[in-house]
Amino acid sequence: MSPFHCEKYFLYKSARAKHRVLPLSMLPPVFVYLFKRPLPYTSTWNLQETIHRLQLALRKTGDHPDILLLLQHRPVYTAGRRQNEPSIYDERVRLQNMGAEFVSATRGGQLTYHGPGQIVGYPMIDLSRYAPTMTTRDFVCRIQKLLKDHLQDSHNIPSVHSEHTGVFLDPTTKIASIGVQVRHRLTSHGFAINITNEPLSWFNQITACGLDDVRAGSIESKLNKPTALGDEMRRIARQFGKLFVRDMVVLEQNDGSEIGKAIAALEREAKDVGDWAKAPII
């Protein structure tokens, strides 16, 4: 879904008042967790599956939490669910030899990269908590708007219209990607935005998202100065609360819950696996 289509959609909703969000006081908070170290992709995917399972189990009581995970991944290339193994085998071998993982994911979209220096957001929220139920299109457009607003509000970086999904600094420079999954009105996967320059050399090894004439950009490459990842995560969390009309509450990993325990286990795993390749091995 392109930025142009999303902007038309928001204009249409504003004009027709098609979607009325419940007042903030009537919606439960979104619990947000900021991971400290880059995470293995598959283990993080398993955490999402654990959270999804618990949300489904608790939904009948209304006690299922909405969660936003903000993190970095260890270097990994991921393929979309429509890309089958025979079509990506050669790429898998080539990219793994460069020092990255390669995973076939369940999100939409095509081949892309995640790694240190890039903030990945996994919103896991119940769209049926909105009245009426928020559509997948509305969800994706809000994600896109929060990324564009973050760039503008935090860094005075404008974005441009594009016919492609994601956020672009100019017609050929992409800074953020969106790829979501919605099951039983519960969301998973989400978005990624390049903060430092570390991801750029990895992106240069592929045709990201199937776009031949597009290269990757970052906040650092635009501003020509260092950017603190922790500050960026906190600002993105605030933008999420604003765009989705929710209070954002920090999730404590030692709260004794199954989700808290799973998060703590993933933090330990990220520490135990150690360092990662800082650039492709060519």
pLDDT in tens, 52-85: 999 999 998 989 999 999 999 999 998 876 656 6
46-57 confidence digits (pLDDT tens): 999 999 999 999
If 0-12 CB within 10 Å is exposed, 13-18 middle and 19+ buried, where does residue 123 land?
Answer: buried
100 and 202 in contact (C-beta within 8 Å)?
Answer: yes
40 and 269 in contact (C-beta within 8 Å)?
Answer: yes
Query: What are the C-alpha distances in Å from 29 to residues 80, 183, 186, 246?
Result: 31, 21, 16, 6
Amino acid (1-letter code) at residue 24: L
Q: What is the mean pLDDT of the chain?
A: 89
CA angle 167, 238, 46 (to 5 degrees): 75
Q: Distance (Å, rounded) from C-alpha 35 to C-alpha 122? A: 12
Q: State the pLDDT confidence band at 86, using cuts at 50, 70 and 90.
A: low
Q: State the pLDDT confidence band at 193, using cuts at 50, 70 and 90.
A: very high
Q: Distance (Å, rounded) from C-alpha 47 to C-alpha 38? A: 14
172-190 confidence digits (pLDDT tens): 999 999 989 999 999 999 9
Tell me which of 69, 125, 193, 209 is the catalytic residue: 209
67 and 124 in contact (C-beta within 8 Å)?
Answer: yes
Q: State the pLDDT confidence band at 114, using cuts at 50, 70 and 90.
A: very high
Question: 62: Cβ–Cβ under 8 A, 6 or more apart, which residues?
Answer: none
Q: Is 209 among the catalytic positions?
A: yes
176 and 133 in contact (C-beta within 8 Å)?
Answer: no
pTM given for the model: 0.90
* Domains within the chain, CATH numbers bracketed: 28-272 (3.30.930.10)
Q: Report which of 121, 169, 155, 152 is spatially closest to residue 225, judged by C-alpha positions.
A: 155
Q: Distance (Å, rounded) from C-alpha 195 to C-alpha 191? A: 13
Per-residue pLDDT averaged across 146-155, rounded?
Answer: 98
Q: Name which residue leads in pLDDT, 39 or 209.
A: 39
167 and 239 in contact (C-beta within 8 Å)?
Answer: no
